[in-house]
Structure 1
Amino acid sequence: MTHPVDVHVGSRVRQRRWMTGMTQQQLAEKVGIKFQQIQKYETGMNRISASRLWDIAAALDVPVAFFFEGLDDKQGDAEETKDIFAEREALELVRSYYAIPEAQRRRLFDLAKVLSDVA
């Protein structure tokens, strides 16, 4: 049975990998493992050792603490709220958003705020 922390850490690996536009194969090559192992890590099926998490963090250019953000410190359980970045569409939207030049991105952000106030 999977542990909630392993599932959370794995989902954060997937989230960051998507944000950078990296495939499972590319991450696996950077870390020196097979892509199937990345699949198992991302689902929480396999636990990630400390040294492997260190390598993954370096490959994804984030601190190790990134993978634990959103955990309840007292119980080690993932937050009850739904992780919006668990959805592929949300990750693609964020990645596309940051590909827009800054001045245009700011105008798009202002438009989104106006539309969300209307809805």
Structure 2
Amino acid sequence: MQENTHSTLKLFLIISQIMGYFPVQGLSENNSQFLKFSWFSFKTIYSLLLLLFSVFVTLLIIICRLTDQVLYIEVAISGKRFFTVRKKAILTIAGIVATYQLVLKQLNTQIIPKLMLVLI
């Protein structure tokens, strides 16, 4: 048996095929001329299913990490670590500003027309 790249890497290629990364037929032959690829072979379908499963698991891990960060990590704005303003304080300030704007709008529509009548 002569030494060539195919015979040297045959064990590695077979292990890669079992793991689903190399869907080629004819690896057990001693000559690389017998290698062929087919889209509708068991090995190709097996490789594609492993690829889809890997993508699915990766997406699940990303979603789990993202939800952990959103739900359990404290969100705060820091001023050189001298103080922190947390989410509750920011929402309270935003609520106060919105309420102040609504009160001003209501007073503007009720008081200013009466003042105009008094001044005229």
What is the TM-score when the length of structure 2 is the normalising length?
0.26
Please identify which structure carries the higher strand content.
Answer: 2
Larger relative contact order (CA 8 Å, sep ≥ 6): 1
Q: Which has the larger radius of gyration?
A: 2
